[in-house]
Amino acid sequence: MPDSATLEAVKIDNEAGDFSYPEDYEHDAGVGLSEETIDYISEVKGEADWIREFRKKALKTFESKPMPTNWATKDLENIIFENIRYYLSKGQAPTRNWEDVPDDVKETFERLGIPEKERKFLSGVEAQFDSEAAYSNVKEELSKEGVIFVNSTEGLREHPELFRKWFGKVIPTGDNKFSALNSAVFSGGSFIYVPPGVKVKHPLQAYFRINAENFGQFERTLIIVDEGAEVTYMEGCTAPKFETSTLHSAVVELVAMKDAKIQYITVQNWSANVFNLVTKRGLAHENAEIRWIDCNIGSRLTMKYPGVIMKGRKARGEVISIALANDGQHQDTGAKMIHAADETTSNIVAKSISVGKGRSTYRGQVHIPKHLKGCKNNTECDALLINSSSRTDTYPAITVRGNQHATQHEASVSQVSEDQIFYMKQRGLSEGEAMSLSVNGFVNDLVREFPMEYSVELKRLIDMEMEDSVG
């Protein structure tokens, strides 16, 4: 057991992520992005030529694509790509033992409570510090069953036969400007393979940490779950509060083979200077199920619309999304459901909370083409406003052709009224406690879907945010 000081330090709160260690990197690609940056990254990693080519092609795509400011926020223009550092690492390959992790990195993850959680309830952990994973381990019984849980560099190098087939296939490089950027400079992230029939009982966890200023983190995750297998993957993220902006732009691809199940949980608590622009999509084969549980609490701007392509008959896709936008934050989130086979089912439940001047936006896309039969979609999006200067927008786009489908769409906007707060305060709750309870009540039915440990963590984060918002 860690001592009480350690336990105190690993308690989750807003300030807990707000620390950094002096920079001391063996590998630094410098500031700005060019072909040389890519050569540098490829050389440090000792990559195969096809990966270097893949990166360089992606760089051209990135450069040729305009910023999506025609539909998205102008705040994107405040990202200065030439001021960003694209690769920083301490050079070491991830160890499988916390004792071998460099002290400052180890302390970082201890303060964030990662080793403790690993002991308590996880099947495997990967801890990424800036560009590379510092620690990566999976329980022995799972490796014996053939489960692979490594970082992207190792995945592509050691298991090309498994990963190359799907790499960049669910999300093509040119999907959007930021998926192209990620494809050019990706580093870190998890590569997971679960063999047929293996049901991983406890979650695999990845933890992403940004330590350096003016840095961009571009992890790349690919999870392949073979026939009839199941896995739950969880990611958490934090960064210190720097004056300058930081960029996080990940690409996450999921592949669920026939009858497989993937549950992907995100609890994002980036500091308020982080641009979080992430592309996430899953491909569900026959009778497979992909479920995204996406909680966005931190960051300056998040743009993220997890999607599922239901490619096989009876495939199921689900997005459960919770976004909390506090003062100065914009949570632009949603879901994308592409029905591409008969009898496929999708479900989207999105709840957003806007506090103070916080802004939340829901964008949903559901596509059911004419030639299919028996597809179903349910979309619910609910927004909660806490005080009048906050803002919420909803842009649902449901395209259903043909008449053999069932879709359902509900949206609501509600407000925590002065009178509701008055009532709760009359019972002895402070303003912060009253708001926090109201917000937790609003998301309560979704949080019940989470594994217990994460629902507790989420509740605590919401409490902290609401306490802060009343100052």
Partner 1 sequence: MSQSLKIENLHASVEDTEILKGLSLEIPKGEVHAIMGPNGSGKSTLSKVMAGHEDYEVTAGTVLMDDVDLLDLEIDERSRAGFFLAFQYPHEIPGVSNANFLRAALQARLPKGEEIDAVAFYKDMYAKMDALSMDRKFTGRSVNDGFSGGEKKRNEILQMMMLEPKYAVLDETDSGLDIDALKIVAEGVNRMRSPERGFLVITHYQRLLDYIVPDVVHVMSDGQIVKTGGKELALELEEKGYDWVTEELAVTA
When asked if residue 418 is in the footprint of partner 1 (CB under 8 A), the reply is: yes
Q: Which of 107, 431, 453, 468 binds partner 1 (CB under 8 A)?
A: 431
Told to check if 420 binds partner 1 by CB under 8 A, we report yes
Q: Say whether residue 466 binds partner 1 (CB under 8 A).
A: no
Check residue 428 for interaction with partner 1 (CB under 8 A). yes
Which two three-digit tokens encode residue 467? Answer: 């306490």
Q: How far is the CB of 414 from partner 1 (least distance, A)?
A: 8
441 binds partner 1 (CB under 8 A): yes
If one asks whether residue 96 binds partner 1 (CB under 8 A), the answer comes out as no
Closer Cβ to partner 1, 82 or 452, answer by number:
452
Q: Determine which residue in the list 78, 83, 244, 444 makes contact with partner 1, applying CB under 8 A.
A: 444
Q: Considering only residues 215-254, where is the footprint of partner 1 by CB under 8 A? A: none
Give Cα separations from 408 to 318, 398, 405, 443, 446 (angstroms): 14, 10, 10, 20, 18
Contacting residue, 437, 459, 467, 470, with partner 1 by CB under 8 A: 437
Q: Is residue 443 within the footprint of partner 1 (CB under 8 A)?
A: yes
Nearer to partner 1, 410 or 445 (CB): 445
Q: Which stretch binds partner 1 (CB under 8 A): 60-68, 70-78, 127-135, 430-438?
A: 430-438
Size of interface with partner 1, in residues (CB under 8 A):
25
Per CB under 8 A, the list member of 16, 340, 411, 429 interacting with partner 1 is: 429
Q: How far is the CB of 440 from partner 1 (least distance, A)?
A: 7
Q: Specify the residue, 141 or 445, whose C-beta has the smaller distance to partner 1.
A: 445
- Does residue 413 belong to the site contacting partner 1 (CB under 8 A)? no
> Judged by CB under 8 A, does residue 438 bind partner 1?
yes
Is 462 a residue that touches partner 1 (CB under 8 A)?
no
- Taking each helix axis from N to C terminus, what angle separates 452-469 and 431-447, rounded to the nearest 10 degrees? 150
Please report whether residue 145 would count as binding partner 1 according to CB under 8 A. Answer: no
Binding mask 300-319 for partner 1 (x = CB under 8 A): --------------------
Q: What is the 3-state secondary structure (H, E, C) of the chain?
A: CCCHHHHHHHCCCCCCCCCCCCCCCCEECCECCCHHHHHHHHHHHCCCHHHHHHHHHHHHHHHHCCCCCCCCCHHHHHCCHHHCECCEECCCCCECCHHHCCHHHHHHHHHCCHHHHHHHHCCEEEEEECCEEEEEEECHHHHHCCCEEEEHHHHHHHCHHHHCCCCCCCCCHHHCHHHHHHHHHCCCCEEEEECCCCECCCCEEEEEECCCCCEEECCEEEEEECCCCEEEEEEEEECCCCCCCEEECCEEEEEECCCCEEEEEEEECCCCCEEEEEEEEEEECCCCEEEEEEEECCCCEEEECCEEEECCCCCEEEEEEEEEECCCCEEEEEEEEEECCCCCEEEEEEEEEEECCCEEEEEEEEEECCCCCCCEEEEEEEEEEECCCCEEEEEEEEEECCCCCEEEEEEEEEECCHHHHHHHHHCCCCHHHHHHHHHHHHHHHHHCCCCHHHHHHHHHHHHHHHHHHCC
450 is a contact residue toward partner 1 (CB under 8 A): no
Q: How far is the CB of 432 from partner 1 (least distance, A)?
A: 10
Interface with partner 1 (CB under 8 A), residue from 20, 214, 365, 440? 440
* Residue carrying structure tokens 């360089």: 56
Given candidates 426, 456, 464, 470, which one binds partner 1 under the rule CB under 8 A?
426
422 binding partner 1? (CB under 8 A): yes
Nearer to partner 1, 48 or 429 (CB): 429
Residue with Cβ nearer partner 1 (103 or 418): 418
| The one among 424, 458, 462, 464 contacting partner 1 by CB under 8 A | 424
When the beta carbons of 237 and 434 are compared against partner 1, the nearer one is 434
Decide if 182 contacts 131 (C-beta within 8 A). no
Q: Which is nearer to partner 1, 148 or 434 (CB)?
A: 434
Give the interface with partner 1 as residue ranges (CB under 8 A): 414, 417-420, 422-431, 433-434, 437-438, 440-445
